[in-house]
Amino acid sequence: MSTADPTSNAAGPLAGIRIVELGGIGPGPFAGMLLADQGAEVIRIDRPAEAGTASKHPVLHRNRRSVTLDLKDPVGVEAVRAIIDTADALIEGFRPGVAERLGLGPGACLARNPELVYGRMTGWGQDGPLARMPGHDINYIAVAGALGALGAADGNPPVPLNLVGDMGGGGMLLALGVTTALVSVKTSGKGQVVDAAMTDGTAIQLSLIHGLLAVGRWTDRRASNLFDGAAPFYRTYRTSDGGYMAVGCVEPQFYAALLEALGLGDDPLFAGQHDQGNWPAMSARLDEVFAGRTRAEWTEAFDGTQSCVTPVYGLTEAATHPHNVARGTYYTEDGLLQPAPAPRFAGTPAATPRPAPLVGAHTREVLAEIGLDAAVVDALVSKR
């Protein structure tokens, strides 16, 4: 049963939900951030050696309370168990078997808190030949089939940051799994374990592509399909000043608007939008055209046209785009530029996130809340 502090982050659809996050990196903290942004009280368990230091991930660790406890100390583990007893959900990102060895596996935790949602974040999943092997985003998306579908036909597959595996296939999948399981607990009264694997999450993001492949509308070769850079109307073009424009005019009316804006409406080369035999020549011609003006000039030329053509912005520059400014997609807190919470809820809007705390800033506070004896709290804090 949750004893979440309703004043800790009392805005958003998850207000009143308490989640314990066993400190990790990448996708686990991202899931914790997503849940905290929507109002859940997330208590992150960090390592004592880092107590008093600033967070190394000031955006991913926002909206938390931080407690430092030694997971190799039986007294520290018992304190973590006591915190989990008060929670609705737990998320951890250890390799399979590690949480069990620490005495914090799903069996032990659910025995004490039968309605607990136990969220597990791994790259390979809890079982399978690679389950206990190390890896990173690039490895997971490679094995899942996504990396091999990206890039030019004659070049190395490009690394898509760590968006596909860690974030989309990992953290978001775990956040979905936890919230879905919380609904299940509400209807069934029984907790459960969520096995969120980045290979699975990457694979499910390929659902559209697999569907197209199955009906013969996609080939299993890079740079030969509609959405992989082969189509001249769905790719980027370099401008005269070294910038880029993104062209995404798939539908015929948008394609026609593109040609009109470029003065190519009567060019026979572009008469057959889906004539793949002409795609290389069409792309080469558009390369020449876009190279004739600056990004700013092309942005102005396409402004107001329904052609699905936009400038390509960098990370900090994107925050200045009028659309992002109008929606508040990004905001700055104490000089730190970061994305605002998403998605947005009309009835239970999220609050502006609180900055990431110093590591261990809430150790005494949380341990006192769960009823630990003051002497025990003093002993645990003194071990940091």
Q: Is 57 a catalytic residue?
A: no
Check 166, 200, 228, 362 and give the catalytic one: 166
Beta-bridge mates of residue 336: 333
Distance CA 44, CA 67 (A): 6
- The reply to whether 136 belongs to the active site is yes
302, 309 Cβ separation under 8 angstroms: yes
Structure token pair of residue 258 = 């593109």
Residue of 5, 73, 136, 321 with catalytic role: 136
Residues 145, 108 contacting (CB under 8 angstroms): no
Residue type, 124: W
- In this structure, which amino acid lies at residue 354? R
Q: Tell which phi-psi region holds residue 371, choosing left (phi > 0), alpha (psi between -120 and 50) or beta.
A: left
Active site residues: 136, 166
